[in-house]
Amino acid sequence: MSGGDIAGLIAAGVFAVLVALLAVPILKLGRVLDELRGSIRTLADGATPLMDEVTATVTTAHGELKRVDVIAENVSDTTANVSALSSLVAATVGSPLVKVAAFSYGVRSALSQPQRGARRPGRRSR
Burial class of 62 by CB neighbour count within 10 A (0 to 12, 13 to 18, 19+):
exposed
Q: Averaged over 99-103, what is the pLDDT?
A: 86
Q: Does the predicted TM-score (pTM) go above 0.75?
A: no
- Higher-confidence residue of 16 and 110: namely 16
Please compute Rg for the chain using Cα positions.
Answer: 52
Does position 118 have pLDDT exceeding 60, yes or no? no
- For residue range 38-53, list pLDDT tens digits in order: 999 999 888 888 999 9
Does position 115 have pLDDT exceeding 80, yes or no? no
Mean pLDDT of the residues in the chain:
87
Does position 17 have pLDDT exceeding 90, yes or no? yes
The separation between CA 103 and the C-alpha centre of its own chain, rounded to angstroms, equals: 57
